[in-house]
Amino acid sequence: MRTAEKPGLSAPASRKLPVPPRERKPALAALAVLLILGGALATTLLVLRSGDRVSAIRVTQQVGAGQPFTDRVIEEVQIADTGVDYVAWSQRQRVLQTFAAVTILPGTLLTSDMGVTASQELGPGKARVGLALKPGQYPAGLEAGDRVQIVHAAGRTTQQDSQVLAQSALVNSVGDKGQITVIVDASTSPEIVGYASAGEVAVAELPGAR
């Protein structure tokens, strides 16, 4: 004799109710962000290591306007190829045959418009004058390429006022113990030499005239 089935229990007792799937969208989004960042980092590293760099010229010492470039004032550096017209290290021999168009400070990457083939400062109508100055007649830290005002410093025993002999002379070189070479107009050089030989010349730096 069959036992009557109880109403409401037609399904097997072992069947479980369906469980809603877990929400995985935030985890997938985070994973996507990590993949994107990782890809960007890998791309950056590949670019940096791909050799997409150029060999350029960097100035190591101040070069005054009109002064020639020498081996002592330039060095080779590797930089990223940004499209800027930096002078390649392979062109250094040409650079050594040129002069600075403007005063160039240490650490400057050389560009083609910073050099000229002829120096206006050392051209016709100019003269190089050597000065032997005493402490107090020139400022400390004076360097080649600086601009100075050359002044006739009258002696204490005279009543003559100080006189400007050269308004803006270029310092060509600086040696030891006040030995300074300046470039001035040839028309003023005899007067400057005369006062310099008497020890009556002083120079004042013009920082804003570089």
Largest pairwise CA distance in the chain: 149
Question: At residue 83, does pLDDT exceed 60?
Answer: yes
Identity of residue 80: A
DSSP 3-state of 59: strand
Question: At residue 7, does pLDDT exceed 80?
Answer: no
Q: Which two tokens stand for residue 50?
A: 């791909």
167: burial class by Cβ within 10 Å (0-12, 13-18, 19+)?
Answer: middle
CA pair distance 184, 165, nearest whole angstrom: 10
Question: How does residue 63 score in pLDDT terms, banded at 50, 70 and 90?
Answer: confident
In this prediction the pTM is: 0.55
pLDDT in tens, 118-148: 776 777 888 989 999 998 899 988 888 888 9
Q: What's CA 47's distance to the chain center, in Å?
A: 24
Q: Which of 152, 151, 147 is nearest to 206 (CA)?
A: 147
CATH class belonging to 26-117: alpha beta
- Domain spans of the chain? 26-117, 126-209
Q: Which two tokens stand for residue 66?
A: 């009109």
CA pair distance 109, 86, nearest whole angstrom: 7
Question: How does residue 181 score in pLDDT terms, banded at 50, 70 and 90?
Answer: very high
Mean pLDDT of 30-53: 59
CA pair distance 91, 127, nearest whole angstrom: 31
Question: At residue 1, does pLDDT exceed 50?
Answer: no
% pLDDT > 70, the chain: 70
CA pair distance 127, 182, nearest whole angstrom: 8
